[in-house]
Chains A and B, each alone.
Chain A
Amino acid sequence: MLDIKNLHVKLEDEGREILKGLTLSVKPGEVHAIMGPNGSGKSTLSYVLAGREGYEVTDGTATLKGEDLLALEPNERAAKGLFLAFQYPIEIPGVATMQFLKVALNAQRKARGEKELSVPEFMRLVKDKAQQLNVTQEMLKRPVNVGFSGGEKKRAEILQMAVLEPKLCILDETDSGLDIDALRVVAEGVNALRAPDRAMVVITHYQRLLDYIVPDVVHVMANGRIVRTGGKELARELEAKGYAEYVEAAE
């Protein structure tokens, strides 16, 4: 599904290298966790995959289902099935969340040559998914992320993911700012989306989330590289020992 080979990325402004030869391969149906200390480049990786500006890829490749991701516009990547749940979701004043969902879904469907959904079809689609994530109708009428609490923002991100039904989901610190109940709701929403033809990359700083979203593979990222890969037990080990040894080794 996702294949990243020897990816080198630097900041366009400063020229500082953030990703320093990162390699990662995720197969359909798998859930991979990427854990690592703050500043190790986890968000940078997610942004580069989603196509944010401000980064320069100096070496390496990243493909989605064999197709070169890095040559595409962000919206083209989305239409091909990539979804990033943002660490800090962005406010879009005046655009109702429901309207945003519909415009986004239909833009993607259109790009893929699929028929756009009518209003009733769309309503049916959203209703159940919203309920599952404790997203009220009232919240759907509010402008995208404007005045949302931390938990609401994260639930809204997962709702977008559920509605857009991507092939590759990247979740960046989706657990940050959530209390335990909210975390459970979000995790259930994510687990409901696990499917044989869908892959997930769950970025997190803490092991806590992985109690609820149990990964198949855990990677440790430090200083712009994957420095260790293991099974789900690796998360517990990290929780106990911290990242110090990896950070030192990576420097």
Chain B
Amino acid sequence: MADQDTIDLVKDIDVDKYKYGFTTDIEQEFAPRGLSEEVIRFISAKKNEPQWMLDWRLEAYRVWQTMVEPTWAKVSYPKIDFQSLYYYAAPKAVTGPKSLDEVDPKLLETYAKLGIPLKEQEILAGVRQQGEKSTLDEEGAGATTPVAVDAVFDSVSVVTTFKAELAKAGVIFCSISEALRDHPELVKKYLGSVVPQGDNFYAALNAAVFSDGSFVYVPPGTRCPMELSTYFRINAKNTGQFERTLIIADKGAYVSYLEGCTAPTREETQLHAAVVELIALEGAEIKYSTVQNWYPGDKDGKGGVYNFVTKRGDCREAHAKISWTQVETGSAITWKYPSCILRGDHSRGEFYSIAISNGRQQVDSGTKMIHLGKHTSSRIISKGIAAGRSDNTYRGLVSAHRKALHARNFTQCDSLLIGDKCGAHTVPYLEAKTSTAQFEHEATTSKISDDQMFYVMSRGLSEEEAVALIVNGFVRDVLQQLPMEFMAETQKLIGISLEGSVG
């Protein structure tokens, strides 16, 4: 079972070692340092973008210049000098995503090291390994199914696997640069339709300089035949990563998508400001999962990733459903509120979150459920775990419009504190403009008790193993929302992120 793996992994690892902290030595091409119209033109030209795309970016840049950084989140950090960053970095040999055979072996090696063996994955596909089936509980290792991966290295997508198989089902899965080239009408129609250019400071910055990201379109009535996933990797120094993801599930379609992220260990802060837009049309369902493990910084928080992300889904038509599941373990600062606009009648939004903070990490994360249509429903389950000297805030808004008759929400926020130098905070905002709305909110804060620790340890588990086990129990409801393939991996990650939190 996965918990044993958690335990083994925790044992094998030195405290303060971020496993994914290595750097890939590869020749890169950069845009000039700093942000200006020229840099934006440079990025757009690099990607051979149509004029409308460049205009869209420039518009975003103009808006961004009039905006100020938001300060309402419970996070503190030195002022970011946006002119000191690079906004574009790409491995030199890459001019666009290629087939696996053409990809620089150094890049394949990097992804293999990160546990994403792109090549092997494709070769193994169709072989369908039968894992050891456990009858112990529902989370026993099941069959391994292939997962299509879009690998994004700094600013560009280096490869997308399983494209041909997906195309057979009519599913488009490619980098957003390719989508601009091959499916411009789809991109033009949907880009910015959920998160407009001027939505917020970081979203505007992203709209101006985004370099790549993933694009998914699932045609009407189609169930996407495999899990889709994107793997984001920051490698270059002093480079911001601004990817943009756009997923459209047409009427009656279904897709499950997973995003993973890591970054090297660095002295300097690394900026990541992504935008994700999801659009679910009538009766469609999108399940979006994130396992975020950006470099959290050293024990004093130095060098970690600042993760300022805007993620929003639009249930644009009736009976649409969008479900966000996130496991946030990395980053020095997390500022992230995956949200749902419940526009279609009977549409449904879900937000399941595990946010773990240790060391000096600061997390301010939550969701917004905006009920606009009738009989819309939403469900929020948030599990925050704070250890070390970290700060962990859940911030959530649930609102029902005057016309959102019979809107329903259930929110449950549980916080777990490990040690007494960390903080957990819950900040719920509720706004119901119709008396027919039914909002329910439950919140708890607890500590791992000495009794629990003693009990578990008296059965043979070490202190760190005991913490990992108890925390995995605490987050179980949310863990079960993850695609099977990623559940075991995530349990390990939880153990690793909490190492050094006791003793």
Chain A contact residues, CB within 8 Å of chain B = 50-54, 73-75, 77-79, 83-84, 86, 89-96, 98-100, 102-108, 111, 116, 118-119, 123, 141, 143, 160, 164
Task: Evaluate whether A94 and B455 lie within 8 angstroms (CB atoms) in the complex, with A104-B460, A107-B461, A116-B4 already known.
Answer: no
| Cβ–Cβ contact B459 & A164, under 8 A | yes
> In the complex, A176 Cα to B94 Cα: how many Å?
71
Select from chain A the residue with minimum beta-carbon distance to B473.
A94
Instruction: Tell me if B419 is interfacial: C-beta within 8 Å of chain A.
Output: no
Instruction: Tell me if B129 is interfacial: C-beta within 8 Å of chain A.
Output: no
Interface positions, chain B 433-458, Cβ under 8 Å from A, are 449-452, 454-458
Measured as residues with beta carbon below 8 angstroms from the partner, the interface class of chain B is: 20 to 34
| Cβ–Cβ contact B458 & A84, under 8 A | yes
| Cβ–Cβ contact A119 & B458, under 8 A | no
| Cβ–Cβ contact B1 & A73, under 8 A | no
Residues in chain A near residue B466, CB distance under 8 A: 75
| Cβ–Cβ contact A103 & B137, under 8 A | no
> In the complex, A100 Cα to B363 Cα: how many Å?
30
Q: How far is the CB of B7 from chain A (nearest CB, A)?
A: 7
Residues in chain B near residue A90, CB distance under 8 A: 449, 451-452, 454-455
| Cβ–Cβ contact B460 & A78, under 8 A | yes
Q: How far is the CB of B160 from chain A (nearest CB, A)?
A: 36
| Cβ–Cβ contact A94 & B476, under 8 A | yes
| Cβ–Cβ contact B451 & A103, under 8 A | no
> In the complex, A164 Cα to B460 Cα: how many Å?
9
Select from chain B the residue with minimum beta-carbon distance to A77.
B458
> In the complex, A97 Cα to B470 Cα: how many Å?
12
Residues in chain B near residue A103, CB distance under 8 A: 1, 3-4, 7, 461, 465, 469
Residues in chain B near residue A118, CB distance under 8 A: 132
Interface positions, chain B 18-45, Cβ under 8 Å from A, are none
What 9 pairs between A and B have smallest CB-CB spacing? A94-B473, A94-B476, A95-B473, A90-B455, A104-B459, A108-B460, A74-B457, A78-B460, A107-B460
Select from chain B the residue with minimum beta-carbon distance to A79.
B460
Instruction: Tell me if B135 is interfacial: C-beta within 8 Å of chain A.
Output: yes
A-B contact pairs, 21 of them (CB 8 A): A50-B458, A51-B457, A53-B454, A73-B457, A73-B463, A75-B460, A77-B458, A79-B460, A90-B451, A90-B452, A90-B455, A91-B452, A92-B470, A95-B476, A99-B136, A104-B460, A105-B460, A107-B462, A119-B135, A141-B137, A164-B460
> In the complex, A119 Cα to B139 Cα: how many Å?
13
Instruction: Tell me if B140 is interfacial: C-beta within 8 Å of chain A.
Output: yes
Select from chain B the residue with minimum beta-carbon distance to A92.
B473
Most buried by B among A51, A99, A160: A99
> In the complex, A131 Cα to B149 Cα: how many Å?
46
Chain B contact residues, CB within 8 Å of chain A = 1, 3-4, 7, 132, 134-137, 140, 449-452, 454-463, 465-466, 469-470, 472-477
Task: Known pairs A92-B452, A102-B1, A106-B4; list 6 more (Cβ under 8 Å).
Answer: A74-B454, A90-B451, A93-B473, A95-B472, A96-B137, A119-B132
Most buried by B among A86, A98, A104: A104
Residues in chain A near residue B463, CB distance under 8 A: 73, 75
> In the complex, A77 Cα to B454 Cα: how many Å?
12
Q: Point out the residue from B134, B458, B474 that lies within 8 Å of A78, measured CB to CB.
A: B458
Task: Evaluate whether A99 and B1 lie within 8 angstroms (CB atoms) in the complex, with A75-B462, A94-B475, A123-B136 already known.
Answer: yes
| Cβ–Cβ contact A51 & B458, under 8 A | yes
Select from chain A the residue with minimum beta-carbon distance to B138.
A141
Q: How far is the CB of A6 from chain B (nearest CB, A)?
A: 25
Q: How far is the CB of A39 from chain B (nearest CB, A)?
A: 20
| Cβ–Cβ contact A143 & B454, under 8 A | no
Q: How far is the CB of A137 from chain B (nearest CB, A)?
A: 9
Task: Evaluate whether A89 and B455 lie within 8 angstroms (CB atoms) in the complex, with A94-B473, A102-B136 already known.
Answer: yes
Q: How far is the CB of B488 from chain A (nearest CB, A)?
A: 13
Q: Point out the residue from B137, B449, B459, B470 that lies within 8 Å of A160, measured CB to CB.
A: B459
Residues in chain A near residue B474, CB distance under 8 A: 93-94
Q: Point out the residue from A73, A91, A106 that lies within 8 Å of B462, measured CB to CB.
A: A73
